[in-house]
Each structure stands twice: as structure tokens, then as C-alpha cells.
Structure 1
Amino acid sequence: MNELVAVIMAGGKGERFWPKSRANHPKQLLPIVSPGTMLQETVERIEYLIPEKNIFIATGESLSGKVKAQLPSLPEENIILEPVGKNTAACIGLAAIKVERKYPGSTTMVVLAADHLIGEREKFLEIIKTGAEVAEKTGHLVTLGIKPTRAETGYGYIEVKGRKLNVENKNEIEVYKVERFVEKPGKAEAKRFLSRGNYYWNSGMFIWKVESILKSIEEHMPELFKGLETIKDSLGTPREAEVTRQVFQKLKSISIDYGVMERAKSVFMVESNITWDDVGSWLAMERIHPKDDNGNVVIGKFEGIDSHNCIIINDGHLVTTLGVSDLIIVTTPQATLICAKDRAQDVKKIVKKLADKKQEEYL
């Protein structure tokens, strides 16, 4: 088996989790779903399969100190710093050349997000092992597709058409050739996907040989590949940080899904029938935490009268409500959010408005 490494992407801003998530302390560095932070939980989960020396964290330069503080035993050279955020394609490409330098030869790379909720750890790790086997034996790109449990419009989908790959594993995990990737659907289309049974949520988790992803980037994103080659020549020299910055500033912001996965000729999907949530907005709290008798999710001090189906996240002082329904209320010492639940995806618009007004103290 190839050397197995994990790259955990931890550079997002988490703007839909404002005001708890801030630029200098985003969602992945917060204890959103458990006592540990989401980043710590992600590392702890994968450590059962991949040793800490083989775990890499890709994050923004401004977050490096906090990542080190949360993961004090992680080798410092395993923290990959992006000078500016340019989406997941550039992040993954940079990680690939760094991994390649540390582990020259045949290396298999598991790409995870730092802010996902994942249950059934042992089964998840078997899914990873199955995906790694497929990536190593075929040389193709592999993604994890989550078996959907509801007609979700907030996720992209993966369509498969019954072409299974023979892979032996103790949990009878199925592997399919991907037919196509589908953008986030409307409600009617999401219901159709759920009923069809051959559509899966696009988890944004990937497995591939380092040489395979770099070859795919060269084929489908030649400008990015050229930039990575320039960075590669500077690795380990005093020029590395400056060269990386110069290259990143010129790159387009493109996701790995759009830049590579949707264009690649042969992609395989490992069916992942596990509890999973991308924890993409405050609405995720309803799926993660129990509700009271009035359908409210409450974390912190709260008293309500005739208040139903609300999400209340409270840092300190008492929050009270009277005669309200379907609201998100999040308090912090610096700012409070009150939002209709059906506008949860638009919280990032508030962040943009604050940025436009240069109210940096609230960002």
C-alpha cells in the first residue's frame, strides 16, 4: 500500500456562521458540535487510520498561530499556509506539491474538510481505506458520495449509473463510476434525485494518488499547474513564501470540483452510507442538536413564551422571546444576529455589508 496522508482544508471563513465565526477565528476553529473544535475533531477522527506525522493542515497565513495552538503536537512543517484564499483547486494543488516533496514516490492523499460532522467513525475509516485502494489500483480520482436522507437543495449531487467496481471490503462498500456532477438543485429536482436512488450528495472529500491529481491539474487547469511548478522550484528555500504569494495573487479562484472533477474522464465514487453534515449554516444546528418541546434548539440561557421552531445560540446574557417563530438568534459580546430561518444561507450578505462599510471590528 502507498504512503497514506491526509490533507485537511481549514482555510474557510465560515461567513454563514457569523457572528460566532469571524475572520480571525472562523467556524472550523470553534466548538460548534462538540466540546472540541471542528478541526480538532477532524484530526482526531482520521488519526485512527493515518498517523499525525502524515496529517497536513492547509489554512490561511493569518490562522497559522491558532491552528498550531489547537494542534500543538502536529509537525510545524505539516501546516501548509495559503497566502491568499483562492478556493479549493489552488489549496489542493499546493498541498499536493508539499506532500510530494516530503514523501517522494507513490503517495495517496485523502482530502478532508475541517468543518464536517461525520458519524460512524469505524465505517468512515473503512470507506477511506476502500477509496485509497481504488485510487492506488486504478490511478483514477475518487470522491465520497453521501447517501442522501432528504431532498436537500444546499448540496451538489453526484449521479452514478450502476457501473460498480469490484472491490473487496468487510463492510460491502460499493464503488461506482461517476456519470456526472450536478449543481445544487431546486426543491422539485432534489425530490426527484432522492426518489431515483442513484444520486448522492457531493461531500467534497476526495482520495487520489498525488501524481494523479497533479496530472489532472496539468490537463484541466494548466495555468494553476504552471504556478505550482514555479512554487515547487522554491520549496525549501528562503524564497518559498514570497514566490508562493506572487503565484497565488495571480491565480483565479476556482473549486477543485469545477476545475478538475467535472472535467476528468474517469472518476469513481465510494458510496458513503454514514451520518454526515457539512455544517454549512446555522440551520445545521437543528440536525445536530435536540429540540425542546416547542421545537426550539437552544444553547445558552433562554426563556420563551409562544416561541416555536427557533434556533437560539447564546454566549452569555439571557435571551427571551415572545410570540416568534422560525428565527435564528445568535448572540456574542460584540454582535447579535436575528434572522429568518429561510434566509440562513444569506447571512454572508451581512458580512459583506459590514465589510463594505469597513466595520472591521465586527468581521
Structure 2
Amino acid sequence: MPEQPVDSHIAIHPVILSGGSGTRLWPLSQSKRPKQFIPLITDKTMMQDTALRLPAHEGFAEPIIVSSAGHADTVIEQMRDMDMPPSAVFLEPAGRNTAAAITLPALWLLEQQDDALMLVMPSDHVIADVDSFRRAIALALPAAADGQLVVFGIHAAHAETGYGYIAQGAPLPGVPGVYEVAKFVEKPTLAVAETFVADGGYHWNGGIFLLSARSYIEELRQWAPEVLRACAEALSNARRENPLVYPEASAFLSSPDLSIDYAVMEKTQKAVVVPVEMGWSDVGSWEALWAVRDRDENGNCIKGAALTVDAQRNLLYVEDGPPIAALGLEDMIVVSTASGILVMPRSRSQDVKKVVELVKSGHFNASDPAPSL
């Protein structure tokens, strides 16, 4: 059992952000059933795995979920299946990005306690080494309790152009393992990303934060007051059906669409980073799923009714679709579901959004020829 990283008088509130659509994993993940509600890696869904990393019986507070109104039943059902009742479920009428999504539980917690800490986590990430994550939380705890806004810097295992980066600055005095943030860098070119990895002082920004609710709200008031105003009004007029909280729609939708990085972290003087190597992946593409799932001796990752002959380094994924037989394939992805079939080279995983755009525009139906990409 990992050591409990929580002081006896400080409760850390896991805040699980579960509002994404996960369209890069089409056709398996769609708006009605996005990837966080699917058991992609284990027999639990990704949201369930996220909650299980920080259970209440090991010193953490009951989880807080932020999701969309259309997924209320799914959230409650999946948390009930684990006997982990959430303390609150905030149901957004539509997404307004992470700054607003974090503001709702921050304001709610401040109604109850002045020194609440929030551990903000996306619901659809993989963390293979939970012990290392817990140790990083323990390192971050004193800084967060002192009002610093802590971001966890993920070990940059390779040059990746799809992530933002955090430049590590000077050590935070008196707090081992915590560093000032020198700067945030948005998604770089491959050449720049390669220099970051070689430098060793840059980390991926995985969107995981340990924040004092009060400190976050104070910084939001300074740097993004319109987000705070909209969320405060939406919460004061919310419909509450414990544990469900429905923010008032018109007020919430008036919030600017800003990430916490743009709204606060890139502007505040309180941003600090805790570097951590914990087997992290955002599973943001079919290629990323191939990388984190088990593979056979030929490098093939197979889930469901699929077989291979002279095939290497493929991902074959079947759920409610026809079985797959792969003959002589190399470095391909084949996904078979009741909603559609996807076939592409692994190297084109980031281009699935082009297919999704065509499907959304009505090009993909039985009476028309398949759209050309």
C-alpha cells in the first residue's frame, strides 16, 4: 500500500475533469460515449481508474467530478459501481474549457472550508506508476498549502509536438522537489521539442495540478475576472440535487472559453512545478493506445475478435463490430465497432479528426460513397 501523502489536518479533494469528447479515438469514442467512460486499458473505465488512484480510505476526500449534463447518469452509475460516491458532480450545459471547469468546484469548496486543496486531474489519462504519483503529491503538498499553484511536470520521454512544455526554473526555497516555473511553451515544432528533451529541463504539461482553492480564485480574480464572475453567478443560481449541481446555463455560458494555462498559469507569479516520471500517457490517439497496451511477440496489440498472419506492430481493436483478420499488415490500425470501421497507418493517428469532421458534416452514410481523404 503506498504511503499516505496527506497531513492529518489537510484533506486533498480530487477534482476529476470528465467533459472531453475524445474524438481522436473515433469510432470507439464519440460525444455520446467519450473515452473516459470506456475501459480502454483495464477492466475499469478511464474515469474509474482515475478515481481509484486517490481513494478516500487512504486519506483523500471524496472525489468531485466535473462533466457534461448529458453524462450525469453515466457518471453516477460508474462511481456507484466502485462504491465511491462523489461529494459533488458539476454538470456543465456546454464546455467552457478548464479554467471554468476548475472554478466551479473551487468556489463550492470555499463555501465549506477556507484551506481546501484541489488535485485537478483529467479523467482520461493513464498513470502506470501510481506510487511515483503519490510521492510527487507529497512533495507538492507544502507548496500548495502555502498558496503556490503546483503543476506536475511529466517526464518528457521523447520529442512530442502534441504537448505543451514546462521549463523548470530555480528550486523553490525550503521545499525539496519543487521548482519555479521559468516559462510555459505551447506545442513546439519537432526540432524545438528535440532540443527540449536533450536539455532535460523541460517537462510535458499533462494538465494535472495541486491548488489551494483560495489561491486559485485569488489569481483568477486578477487574471481572468470574467471567468470568475460567470462561474460565481452560475453557481449561486445553480440547481442542486445532491450530489448533482447544475450551474445556471446562461451565466455559465457567458464565461470566456479559456484553459487554466492561458487564464492563470502563464501569468501568475505563483506557478511552480514538481517533475515526475510515472508512466503517464494522455491516450490521445490510437497510436498512443498501441504504445500503452500489452503487445504480442510481433508487436501487435489485439483486443477483441481479431487474428493475424505475418502481421507486425499493428493495433487491432474490436468492440461490437465484425471480427478482424490481418494478413501481412505492418504498422497499421484497424478498429471495428458498431458505429464504424477505421483503417489507417499508425503514423496517421493524429489525422482522425479529419474523418470526424467529415462524419459530422453528414458525408458518411450508406447511400453516398465513402469520403476520400
Is the 1:306–1:324 contact (alpha carbons within 8 Å) kept by the matching residues of 2? yes
8 A contact 1:11–1:60 mirrored in 2: yes
Q: Give the equivalent residue in structure 2 for 1:143.
A: 151
2:178 equivalent among 175, 195, 200: 175
Partner residue in 2 for 1:335: 340
Give the C-alpha shift of residue 236 in structure 1: 6.4
Consecutive unaligned residues of structure 1, counting only runs of 5 or more, are 169-173
* Structure 1 position 28 matched with structure 2 position 36: yes
Alpha carbon RMSD of aligned pairs, Å?
2.4
What fraction of aligned residue pairs are identical, expressed as a percent?
32
Q: Distance in 2 between matches of 1:92 and 1:57?
A: 10
* Alignment counterpart, residue 143 of structure 2, candidates 128, 134, 157: 134
Offset of 1:209 from its aligned partner? 0.7
Q: Which of 265, 282, 288 does residue 269 from structure 2 map onto?
A: 265
SS of the residue corresponding to residue 271 of structure 1 reads: strand
Q: Is the 8 A contact 1:20 1:332 kept in 2?
A: yes
Q: How far is 1:306 from its partner?
A: 4.0
Instruction: Look up the match of 2:169.
Output: 161
Distance 1:192 1:97, change over 3 A: same
Deviation at 1:40, TM superposition (A): 0.8
**Counterpart residue identity of residue 94, structure 2:** V
Change (3 A) 1:32 1:261: same
Contact conserved, 2:13 with 2:60, CA < 8 A, in 1? no
Q: Distance in 2 between matches of 1:233 and 1:30?
A: 33
* Pairs within 5 Å for 1:17-166: 17-47=25-55, 54-72=62-80, 73-75=83-85, 78-101=88-111, 103-137=112-146, 139-166=147-174
**Residues 196-246 of structure 1: CA deviation (Å, up to 9, x unaligned):** 0100111100011111111111111111111123124325679x9776211
TM normalised by structure 2 equals: 0.87
The one-letter code matched in structure 1 to 2:195 is: R
Partner of 2:318: 314
Contact 1:4–1:50 (Cα < 8 Å) also in 2: no
Distance 1:256 1:308, change over 3 A: same
CA deviations 1:1-41 (Å, max 9, x no partner) are 43321100011101011111121211001110111111111
Q: 1:360 to 1:62 in 2, by over 3 A?
A: farther
Contact in 1 for aligned 2:301/2:314 (Cα 8 Å):
yes
State the Cα distance separating 1:52 from its structure 2 match. Answer: 7.0
Q: Deviations over 1:103-123 (max 9, x none)?
A: 232111110111111122222
Task: Give the distance between the partners of 1:293 and 1:3, measured in 2 at CA.
Answer: 45
Letter in 2 for 1:47: P
SS at match of 1:81: strand
Task: Indicate if the aligned counterparts of 1:9 and 1:112 stay in contact, CA closer than 8 A.
Answer: yes
Question: What SS does the aligned partner of 1:283 have?
Answer: helix
- Counting only pairs closer than 5 Å after superposition, residues 225-304 of structure 1 correspond to structure 2 as 225-235=228-238, 244-304=248-308
In the alignment, the residues of structure 1 paired with residue 275 and residue 86 of structure 2 have an alpha-carbon distance, to the nearest angstrom, of: 34
CA drift at 1:146? 1.1
Displacement after TM superposition at 1:49 (Å): 7.1
